[in-house]
Amino acid sequence: MTTTWTELLILLAIAGACGFVAQAITGFTRGGCLVSVALGFVGALVGLWIAGFLGLPAVFAVQVGEQTFPVFWAFVGALVLVLVLGILTEKRT
């Protein structure tokens, strides 16, 4: 299974959008674009784990080349991660 550079950039953009929206909803704004992308990818892992644990189906997934990216579960996982990070970190004053 190979991924082209274009497919990788598309996956990064989707992950970044999921992380950005999760940050915007919660108000947690530490970091920049790279943090949003990381939250999106880690959120996809957490979201898929949550969905598998609860036996829930893939709701909205995007096929990019040979890769399938679970957009809905990435968003849910990123939202959970951002909420946990917001609770665990100090508030800026």
- What are the start-end ranges of the H helices in the chain? 5-26, 33-54, 71-88
pLDDT, tens digit, for every residue of 2-60? 888 998 888 888 888 888 888 888 888 777 888 888 888 888 888 889 888 999 988 88
- pLDDT at residue 74, as a whole number: 87
Q: What is the pLDDT of residue 88?
A: 87
Q: Where are the domains of the chain?
A: 30-66
pLDDT score at 55: 92
How many whole angstroms separate alpha carbon 92 and alpha carbon 66?
Answer: 42
pLDDT tier at 1, thresholds 50, 70, 90: low
